[in-house]
Structure 1
Amino acid sequence: MNRIPAPWIRTRLRTAPAAAAALALLVALTACLAGAFPRAVDRYEDAGLRHAVERARPLNTSMTVYAQQPDALLSQQQREDALRPAALDVRYGKVLAALRRPFVADRAQSTYGVRTANPQKAPDPFLPQPYGLPAQIELTAQEGLAAHATVKAGRLPRADGRVTATTPEVEAAVSAETAKSLHIKVGSVIHVPGSGRAPLAVRVTGIITPRDPDGAYWATHELLHTPNLIPVPNTDFFYWLGALLLAPDAAPALLGTAGDPQRYWQLAPDVPALRSHELDDLKSAVASMETGPDTRRLRAATDPSTNVTTYLDDVLDSYGALRGRVRPLVAVAAFGTGTVAAVVLLMAAGLAADRRAAELTLLRARGASLRGLAARLFAETTVVTVPAWAVGLTLALLAVPTDRAAYAATAATAVALVACAALPVRAMAVHRRVRVHAARADVSTVRPSRRRTVAELTLVVVALGAVESLRRTGTSGGQLSSLAPVLIATAAALLLIRLYPLPLRALARPAARMRGTVTHLSLARAGRTSASAVLPLLALLTALTTAAFGGSVLAGVHAARDHAAYLAVGADARVETPTPLPADLPDRVRRVPGVRALSAVSLSYESKPGDGEQTVPVAGVNPQDYAELAARTGLGPFGAGELAKRPATEPQPALASPAVAARYGTRSFPVRLEDGSTITVRVAAVVDRTPAVIGADFLVVNRAILDTRAARPSALLLTGSGIQASTLRKAAGSSAQIQLRSEERAEYGDSPLQSGAERVYAAAVAAGAGYAVLALLLSLLRAAPERRALLARLRTMGLTRAQGRRLLILESLPQAALAAAGGALTGWATIRLLSPGVDLTTIALATHETAGGQAVLRTDALSLVLPAAAILLVTVGVAGAQAWWTGRQGAVAELRAGDAR
């Protein structure tokens, strides 16, 4: 290949600086988005993993390495020395060195020490003894007490002299909660039974409060700061269990008790160091430390009896399952947006190739080789693309800071390669044969080849396979399932481009008989659209399908959270008290800003229908208010007349849950309420849910049939928007329990994995829509020179400006209408086809246990209609603007340009 002279490239770039700048801007923007996407995914996945570990609490995430008390074959001094801080610290360093990345210990929250594995009964009379059972005490000598506690009274314990197994008395501290519950004061002496010796006296020298009670130092073993009431098995008795915190140097004294002292090294994970992409390695490291090769290393570093216990692997498995169900949903948006962006890059290359078609044809006619021509074009494009790629990648790295840059660089580089190769490949395909005049290439004359037909049929088969795979296996079926919406859109675009000329030809015949030529001419020209229109149509359909699918995903998520929140609260807000509400409370609550409607309910949770063996909650309601509430929330809607009061001699109607209705049928049966009164009811209607009762079993009756005492409301179900929790609590009083649907709903999306996936999904859909508009503009820009020349020639024949504007709009509308209608139809079909295999429960509700059922993909009208309408508006606007601008420029320049061509 001949060396490409730089002056030629520089000259060609100078002739079209606007086109070069536009390409650079497009590449920079696309490379920035491509590089930012994997980093944004890494960012919210990392945040999700840290949130999962933090939410699981240190009790489940810390790793405890523990060893039995020193071997009895050792001398007493050796056994005592093994419990001293110096020996434990040496082994602590070896334990840290034995840890395998990516598990990293948080040294500020990790610690070590000695504790009694078997709590001992303390017979001291000042300790509380419920049911006559003495309190039990655990002795713990944990390193770092001074750094993690604040002395509330007294001082921290010390070990005076050299403590041994026979030391008669040691000092200890207790937490403020332990001191309060076990009646311990500074100076109290607690006697712990000894083993082969007199009881060990433990003098309390200080009462402390943890500086960070939720930190791993304290929360891994919560008994250190919070005593517990422990039930005696198979009885209704309880006893107190608390912990005494000894000085680390006093640990050898535990050998003189029957508590079976154990050495332990408590390792808290460094949460900020956790990375989602290292999840598999982290799970492997944890498993290896529990029961694997690293266990042998830990035993060699500490003691042959060493074991490791942690529940961190369960937390990681739970997070991994959640991430695995969220990723395919985000991949759908990524594939859709990536496809549209690639099509736009190809369209930009096609526009450049068309602009230089005459130049490239002349070069080929004068002997330029195809390889040399492609090399020159590649060099031209590279000069523009590489700096734009660097700028875009740098912006992505700066805008979304994360640890990994390889995936971002790979994605941005792929954009640069497509941008560099698109123009040379297009030129090689078009100009592989030397010719002077290009043949007409529109959808009316170009017939698809057999190869194209086979390729299109293959694509349709692959799309059908992807749809079937997703319907059968869900979004866990691999990348093919995530590609299903894109494949459906591609197949639809190929089908529509084949069918596109048929209706236009049918309309052109009657239009030819109409008075005037504008309509007939516009339809005739629309029917001769370039055969390369498949690219913009593919971009538009893919963007519309992705937008429809994304809108439906977000709509399904929001609907699932709304429904789950309604199930948990029963209304927009709920005020409930264990006793009847004050008489003036409904009026006070009704005046709270945001409250539009109120339904008062009297609740009897321990009512006993029929034989009285089982209890069923009974809600007394005002039928009219309650029917409106049920219809508004969608929780068991019914007609108000179904609860109309009957004569006293007849059984009263009631709404029942399916289980209650199946139990009592349609016969009348008595119901004994909590206040002792009895009503006789008959099931008039069956509903699955009801707003007043949070549960599956219930009866709902007219409050007018209850006696005065039972009819007093104990709950208020409120409807409204913008209700402030603080204002409502102030109006309801401190004794009332307040629930807001908005607060309940917010808890369902509190995981960064959920909220991050939603934001990335929405951003991907928005980017796809932007690229779709850009594809539409490129398509219109591609036809702009020909349209300008056409208008100029027709103006010389008497075409008015209004007729020229109508001509361009009518010519552009068929393809835009095809894309809009086809996109909306394809989006609707995609949702209907894929909804059985798409479960949104994970991204909507995560690990929350609700009775709301499965969150399903549902059609969102706005995501179908708005993008399609936007395409039509942009097309009409651009065509009208082009006609107006051409009319202002005059016809002389275009006619001369046309003659030159």
Structure 2
Amino acid sequence: MTGGTRLLRSEARGDLPLLACLAVLVAVLAGIGAAGPVVLAGQRDQALRHRVAAAQHGPALVSVSTAEEVFDDPALQAHAGPVLSQTAAGGEQVVGTATLPTGSSLTVARTVVTFPLLKVTAPQSTVDRASTTSLTPHHVSDAAAHLRYVAGGPPGGRAPAGSPPGIAISRAAAALTGLTVGQQVTAQEEPLLGVFHSTYFTVSGIFEPVDPDDDFWRDQPTLNQPQSYPDGTKDGKANVSVQGLVDADAAAEMKDDAITLPTITWELRLGLGHDAVHQAAGVLSALQAYPTDLAGSMCGSSDPMGREQCEMGNVKVGTYQLDDRFTPLATAFAGEDVQTRELASFAGASLFAVGLVTVLVAIRLLLRRRADDLALQRSRGASSTGLVLLRTAITTPVVLAAAALGWFLGRWLAPTGTSGSPQPLLALLGTGLALLLVPLLTWQAVREPAVARDPRRRGRRRGRRAVLEATALLLAVAGTVALRARGSGGGDGVDLQLSLVPVLLATAAVLLLVRIYPLVLRLLAGQARRGSGVVAFVGLRRAGRDAPATALALFVLVITLGTAVFGGLVSRSIADGGAVGAAWSAGGDVAVLQSGNVTPKPVPSGAGSPVRTTVAEHRRSVHLVGDVNGATYAGVALVTVDAARLAAAEPGSPLVRALAALGDGRPVRTDPTDQSFPVLTGAAFFAEESKETLTATVDAAVTVPGALHVRPAGVLDPAALADPALGPITGGLPAGTVLMVATGAADAVLPGQLTGATALLVYDRPGADPRAAALAAGDALGPLAEIRLRADQLAQLRDDGLARLVSTSYTVCTLLAVLFGLLAVALELVLTARERNRTSSYLRTLGLSGGAATFLQIAQLLPLAAAAALGGVLIGVLEPRILGPALSIRQFTGGPADPALRTDYRLTLLLGLGLGLLVLGAAVVESTVARTRRLGAVLRLGGT
């Protein structure tokens, strides 16, 4: 027992440097398996939390609303108010009803009490200013913190007995209506059964925002900015809509008890914990069941009319309605998250492949260094099995201890509480490979010499090699074809198919290079032999012979360089695609969007204005019927564009070139009542319907006399369909919607549609601040319009956590793969150094100079670098194009289609130069070591 232990210690002492190297490799692979998935999951959790936080700067992600009921029974009417005393208790009940997963939360961020729309009938001065003035009283729980009073004060507190409740209005509303502090306002509801009900208020104060740009005013814009719409009459008056702030108990103060009672909305804030991605699934399930839970918790028996009765505290209310904006956000994030993990899994698989090959090279070098000892022991009668068991007994404790240490260090360094978990399979794979390779390679090294020299076995080995290479090539081709047929999205977990196929492609590329580039070297060597020098000839011949022996080093260099080039391509494509997506989202420098067809107000664009020009667009949903063939098309999106302004703003626009086919696009009369105008359509629609006109029906409140006909007169080619000018107005259309585009001249005969949309594209002057342009055009479509800045859209895309996660994954994996690769190449060069040094020593004894010897080393290693650079760059550049639809990055860029793949040539050049410097450094080191050992002074027939 003691002798065996002494033998193990003696053998291990000689292998200590390489055993330490092997231990570090196994520990790092185990640590990556323990920490890598957890760290990546933490980044995904952070990305989802960031999106939820950004979305909650606008309207609430989750809100619950209900309305107080109108009761004919005076006893029940007595319980109708005061409202304010019930809203807090009602909010607590609403929040407490949600059964969310542990770590997530819902809190009441804001309570809004909305009273019915009223028509102002007094004072007379307000009535004279507009055709109609509508007043909507509101109570917003957190409004006081976002406004200041320039006259009067808030409407808080109960008014004296017999006096009207107070109402506060904005400075803009006061200027538009002429109301002043202290005035009494009389307003009426729409008549109920022909009976008018009047309500009275006193203007208690006039306010203005503390900061008009904060989230509160983006969520409540009409509280500050009244809406004004032309009434279409000759006197030019407008219909004015004003909102005012009242105390929540104003319902109890109103003079007529029969007034419709208010609607109460609790805007809820959703909080997600550290494991946000994991919690999201539970939140989605909870929100799906939330309406049922609310009904079961807060609604009971039916009234005598059979209607369900619900409560808020002791107030009878209608049923509770849920507005859920989190579900579409989480669903969209889940789709992007799948693609993120697919891309990250490719980088991780490449890193792990490089790590495993490095382990293989380390074990080969370990056995190569012990080759003489193994041969000596074999000649002294040691059995092959005994030698295999001896080497296994030495390495197994080291590998197992290193794997355990790496695993526990990875668990200790990894963040806690994320949605991810350690992947023991990765650690077991690296550890198992190291434990399995030692006995296998040892057996190969110590097997019977006669068996090793058997020519028949050598022939069979060549045949097996050919079969293995053919199998690898077939697997690479089959995997690529299957992946392209499958497309993107391989499930919720790591996409093994997408992870393995690029590794198989790299393997196939290396096998082809190992077969091809020795032939090229022989041809070059033949050319070099005709020259006057012998160094180039010997170096090329030596490199050709060493090609199979350096296959592992070539594989490591190819897959490392290919992954780096691929990562640079993905990052560059996402960055450039983000610019295209931002342009598509904003159309111009700024986009102002409004639901319904609204006539934009003029935007100053003269000297001194930040606005260069604006382009108006309208979208309507129309129903088409072929005038000859009777074909019907429902839900067609008809977009009208001010072609002249667009041509002035963007002369090179593909949409402008396409619109040229319509001429001026003016409608023409086909008979005394009917009118027809030309449109652009998709290629398939044009091929089918270009020979006739189609009757267009627009579902609108106001109809036009006669019939409208559209005439397909041109094709929307792919470039025109991808024109950014169409992005804001068509970006939200469902897939498969038939699209038609006409010039703005068609607006003269098309009725406005409440379900349509209007976009105003704003182009700023060179050097102007886009925010100033947005401010100048902000009121063009009314206070409810959405404003998009291209710069903000681009910043949002580039700051997105998932997009940054992809870039970070490739950066980290590439750096680690480079470290593994450097080690693997260094070990592989040590493995093949004996033959190169023997050649150098022979030539040095024949008078070869030190400089020529260095050049010889470079000549022997340079082909390896050239082959690796060629294979790595080709793999990195061609892989995304080979994988095709299986590799989609549109989720990170927006836009109408997948972004163009763009190679980062600067990064590729730097990587190629780095590879060249690596080879040059290796050659210089080898040459220096050879001179130090004075290999030119002694001819060593048995080796170095």
Distance 1:817 1:326 in 2: 33
1:817 to 855, 866, 879: 866
1:617 to 634, 637, 644: 644
For 2:88, give the aligned amino acid: D
Distance 1:804 1:530 in 2: 20
2:570 is equivalent to residue 553 of structure 1 = yes
Distance verdict in 2 for CA 1:508–1:446, change over 3 Å: farther
Deviation at 1:878, TM superposition (A): 0.6
Of residues 872-881 and 820-829 in structure 1, the stretch that sits farther from structure 2 once superposed is 820-829
Tell me, what secondary structure is at the counterpart of 2:241? strand
Distance verdict in 2 for CA 1:694–1:107, change over 3 Å: closer
1:804 to 820, 844, 853: 853
2:944 is equivalent to residue 888 of structure 1 = no
Deviation at 1:660, TM superposition (A): 0.9
Q: Does the CA contact (< 8 Å) of 1:343 and 1:539 recur in 2?
A: yes
For 2:472, give the aligned amino acid: L
Tell me, what secondary structure is at the counterpart of 1:80? coil
Deviation at 1:603, TM superposition (A): 8.4
Deviation at 1:535, TM superposition (A): 2.4
For 2:268, give the aligned amino acid: L
2:446 is equivalent to residue 429 of structure 1 = no
2:259 is equivalent to residue 258 of structure 1 = yes
2:62 — aligned with what? Answer: 63
2:797 is equivalent to residue 783 of structure 1 = no
Distance verdict in 2 for CA 1:694–1:143, change over 3 Å: closer
2:899 is equivalent to residue 855 of structure 1 = yes
Q: Does the CA contact (< 8 Å) of 1:827 and 1:864 recur in 2?
A: no
1:120 — aligned with what? Answer: 118
Q: Does the CA contact (< 8 Å) of 1:123 and 1:191 recur in 2?
A: yes
Deviation at 1:69, TM superposition (A): 1.9
Matches within 5 A, 1:283-294: 283-290=284-291
1:529 — aligned with what? Answer: 546
Distance 1:274 1:372 in 2: 47
2:188 is equivalent to residue 170 of structure 1 = no
2:513 to 496, 499, 507: 496
Distance 2:941 2:419 in 1: 50
Deviation string 1:368-416 (CA, Å, 9 cap, x unpaired) is: 3745642431212333454355445544x3xxx5742753x32xx5565
Deviation at 1:455, TM superposition (A): 4.5
Tell me, what secondary structure is at the counterpart of 2:182? coil
Q: Does the CA contact (< 8 Å) of 1:83 and 1:263 recur in 2?
A: no
Distance 2:531 2:32 in 1: 50
2:479 is equivalent to residue 466 of structure 1 = yes
Distance verdict in 2 for CA 1:539–1:120, change over 3 Å: same
Distance 1:231 1:7 in 2: 101
Distance verdict in 2 for CA 1:47–1:157, change over 3 Å: same
Deviation string 1:76-97 (CA, Å, 9 cap, x unpaired) is: 3576267644544333223222
2:800 is equivalent to residue 751 of structure 1 = yes
TM-score for the superposition, normalised by structure 1: 0.71
1:339 — aligned with what? Answer: 353
Deviation string 1:160-198 (CA, Å, 9 cap, x unpaired) is: 49x9xx976334444555555554544343344489997
Deviation at 1:347, TM superposition (A): 2.6
Deviation at 1:875, TM superposition (A): 1.5
Distance 2:937 2:545 in 1: 26
Tell me, what secondary structure is at the counterpart of 1:110? strand
1:374 — aligned with what? Answer: 392
Deviation string 1:579-638 (CA, Å, 9 cap, x unpaired) is: 6659xx9xxx9xxxxxxxxxxx998989xxxxxx996427999xxxx9xx99xxx978xx
2:184 to 179, 189, 194: 189
CA RMSD of aligned residues (A): 5.6
For 1:189, give the aligned amino acid: Q
Q: Does the CA contact (< 8 Å) of 1:378 and 1:421 recur in 2?
A: no
Deviation at 1:429, TM superposition (A): 0.5
Tell me, what secondary structure is at the counterpart of 2:165? strand
Distance 1:657 1:128 in 2: 50
Deviation at 1:887, TM superposition (A): 0.5
Q: Does the CA contact (< 8 Å) of 2:641 and 2:742 recur in 1?
A: no
Distance 2:498 2:243 in 1: 55
Distance 2:3 2:326 in 1: 60
For 1:342, give the aligned amino acid: L
1:351 to 354, 357, 365: 365
Deviation string 1:492-543 (CA, Å, 9 cap, x unpaired) is: 1223334454445566677778777655544454344375533222222222
Deviation string 1:234-284 (CA, Å, 9 cap, x unpaired) is: 999753334443334555447935233234433122367782344333333
Deviation at 1:657, TM superposition (A): 1.5
Distance verdict in 2 for CA 1:797–1:284, change over 3 Å: same
2:239 — aligned with what? Answer: 239
Q: Does the CA contact (< 8 Å) of 1:31 and 1:389 recur in 2?
A: yes
Distance verdict in 2 for CA 1:450–1:245, change over 3 Å: farther
1:878 — aligned with what? Answer: 922
Identity %: 24
Q: Does the CA contact (< 8 Å) of 1:375 and 1:424 recur in 2?
A: no
Deviation string 1:200-253 (CA, Å, 9 cap, x unpaired) is: 433344455667878887765655555434688999975333444333455544
1:706 — aligned with what? Answer: none
Q: Does the CA contact (< 8 Å) of 1:381 and 1:419 recur in 2?
A: no
Distance verdict in 2 for CA 1:522–1:445, change over 3 Å: farther
2:558 to 537, 541, 556: 541
Q: Does the CA contact (< 8 Å) of 2:845 and 2:936 recur in 1?
A: no
Distance 2:324 2:354 in 1: 47
Q: Does the CA contact (< 8 Å) of 2:31 and 2:410 recur in 1?
A: yes
Q: Does the CA contact (< 8 Å) of 1:353 and 1:423 recur in 2?
A: no
For 1:553, give the aligned amino acid: V
Distance 1:273 1:753 in 2: 16
Q: Does the CA contact (< 8 Å) of 2:554 and 2:868 recur in 1?
A: yes
For 2:899, give the aligned amino acid: A
Distance 1:541 1:193 in 2: 79
Q: Does the CA contact (< 8 Å) of 2:33 and 2:427 recur in 1?
A: no
Tell me, what secondary structure is at the counterpart of 1:122? strand
1:328 to 342, 353, 360: 342
Distance 1:35 1:247 in 2: 57
TM-score for the superposition, normalised by structure 2: 0.68
Distance 1:182 1:345 in 2: 81
Q: Does the CA contact (< 8 Å) of 1:330 and 1:761 recur in 2?
A: yes
Distance 2:297 2:389 in 1: 62
Tell me, what secondary structure is at the counterpart of 1:269? strand
For structure 1, which runs of at least 5 residues remain unmatched after alignment?
590-600, 607-612, 637-654, 666-685, 699-713, 719-723
2:91 — aligned with what? Answer: 92
